[in-house]
Amino acid sequence: MDGRVSEHAAVLVDWSARIEAGENVVCVASEGTHDLACAVARAVGERGANLVTLSGSAEIERAYLLGYSEYAGIDGEDDGGDFPESPAHELALYENADTVLLLGGGRNTAALADVPSATRQAASRARTGVREARMATDWVSTVHPTRALAQQAGASYEAYENFVYDAVLRDWEKLAEEMARVKEILDRGSEVRIEAEETDLTMAIESRQAVNSAASVAYDSHNLPSGEVFTAPADTEGEVLFDLPMTIRGQRVENARLVFEDGEMIDWDAAAGEEVLREVIETDAGARRLGELGIGMNRGITRLTDNILFDEKMARTIHLALGRAYNACLPDGKTGNDSAVHVDLITDMRGSSQLSVDGEVLQRNGYFEWEDEFEG
């Protein structure tokens, strides 16, 4: 077995999930993740914790959803039907768990393609109780490199393995410290300005709290890899070009350009994917406002792989999300921009660019002011 699989398991168990002796761990292993599931089992055992491993097979899920649809006469085209509420045995499992590890990495990213999306959503809604019980644990989600994911990324398997391990096997402690520095600057700042190609945008961040997303439950960050600092902006003014392509709901979006006035988007266009963007924007009023400003800081991620969990963490990029803001970024008891959607779009800062807080340059051409490459 590739030695990096064990290193990955160690980062997951120690840095991300902070598993300790005597804890009850649930590991949910997708079809293609058996090697990582073995390495995780070894590491969980070595820490003296207890383990139950669940199958996270998308094909088993598909079979169950199709079977139940047949039982309940759900055709799924118009509405998703009624699925059973979170079953008691599954609920009891999660309610008695301290940690849940989700190992993504199937053998076919289209495994659920012939389950109507209304059916998937209905089944998911019915399992809210299970999801909430899971979210109440120290849960962490990660990705094992599989051929299916390599294919989605347009990469060879070997290149994709290297990509994933470069992103996962970081010096997380050091990165968390650097991200803490960015967080501090954002926390005490009032206004952020982003300047880049066809981009000049200002956002208010006064009284907002940035999140140091350091891939560890200790930072309330539940994805491995992570590596971004994000906050919830307000009163956006100006225009922004998202020059890195994204797939949204299966559609390619390229060079989306948005114009904001008084916090609201007043104009937009895109070189590709206007249809899906329109769908997003017309969801509700909150979908025309920004919910997130994120600064990618994972230097192990140097290319796009059409997977938002990686793409938005790429160093020397920033991303903005239309829609819902995270409560963690708001003062206690306050809520931010509300919407049914949260759609990220990414801007490349590797060209001529500048990110400043209250007039002080924090990053130029994608390099922070404390980096050697920074040109003052």
Instruction: Residue 215: name the closest of 132, 301, 291 by CA.
Output: 301
138 binding a second copy? (CB under 8 A): no
Tokens, residue 119: 């059916």
158 binding a second copy? (CB under 8 A): no
14 DSSP assignment: I
Segments in 154-240 forming alpha helices (H): 157-168, 172-188
Tokens, residue 245: 């392509």
| Cis amide linkage into residue 331, ω under 30° from 0 | no
Site string for a second copy, 18-37 (x = CB under 8 A): ---xx-x-x--x-x--x--x
Residue of the chain from 20, 79, 82, 96 that contacts a second copy (CB under 8 A): 96
118 binding a second copy? (CB under 8 A): no
215 DSSP assignment: S
Closer residue to a second copy in complex, CB, 112/315:
112
Pairing of strands 211-213, 246-248: unpaired
Residue of the chain from 16, 32, 47, 241 that contacts a second copy (CB under 8 A): 47
Instruction: Residue 12: name the closest of 91, 106, 104, 93 by CA.
Output: 104
103 binding a second copy? (CB under 8 A): no
136 binding a second copy? (CB under 8 A): no
**Minimum distance from residue 98 beta carbon to a second copy (Å):** 8
Query: Distance between CA atoms of 22 and 47, rounded to whole angstroms?
Result: 8
CB 355 within 8 A of CB 188: no
The interface with a second copy within residues 48-77 (CB under 8 A) comprises 48, 50-55, 57, 59-72
43 binding a second copy? (CB under 8 A): yes
From 89-97, 157-165, 291-299, 305-313, span contacting a second copy (CB under 8 A): 89-97
* Size of residue set near a second copy by CB under 8 A: 51
Interacting residue ranges for a second copy, rule: CB under 8 A:
21-22, 24, 26, 29, 31, 34, 37-39, 41-48, 50-55, 57, 59-72, 84, 87-97
